[in-house]
Structure 1
Amino acid sequence: MDATYPFIDQWRAASEARDATEAAAALAEDVRLISPITEQFRFQGRKQVQDLLEVALDALESIKFTDQVADGDTVALFYEATVDRTRIFEAQRLRLDATGRISEITLYIRPLPALTKLMSRLGPELARRNGQPGLARVIPIASGMLHAMADGGERNFMPRAAPR
Structure 2
Amino acid sequence: MSTQTTERYRRAAETQDVELALSAFAPDAVVHSPLTGRVRFTGHAELGPLLEVAYSHLRDIRFHTDTGDASTRVVVHTARIGGEEIEETAVLKLDEDGLIAEATLFVRPLPGLVALMDAFGPDIARRNGRPFAARLLAVAAKPLLAMVRSGDRRAVPLAGPRA
TM-score normalised by structure 1 residue count:
0.95
What is the letter of the counterpart of residue 106 of structure 2? Y
Q: Structure 1: 5+ residue runs without aligned partners? A: none
Q: Is the contact made by 2:70 and 2:98 (CA closer than 8 Å) also made in structure 1?
A: no
SS of residue paired to 1:79: strand
Q: How many residues align?
A: 162
AA matched with 1:10: R
- The SS at the match of 2:34 is coil
Q: Deviations over 1:54-112 (max 9, x none)?
A: 10111000100011111231000010110122111111100100000000000010000
Preserved contact between residue 6 and residue 75 of structure 2 (Cα < 8 Å): no
Q: Percent identical across equivalent pairs?
A: 38
Where does structure 2 lack aligned partners over 5 or more consecutive residues?
none
1:141-160 alpha-carbon deviations (Å, 9 max, x no partner) = 11111111111111110000
Letter in 2 for 1:41: V
1:37-116 map, 5 Å: 37-116=35-114
TM-score by length of 2: 0.95
- In structure 1, the residue matched to 2:146 is 148
Q: Superposition RMSD on alpha carbons, in Å?
A: 1.1
Task: State how far apart, in whole Å, the 2-side matches of 1:68 and 1:81 are.
Answer: 16
- Larger mean CA deviation between 95-104 and 19-28 belongs to 19-28
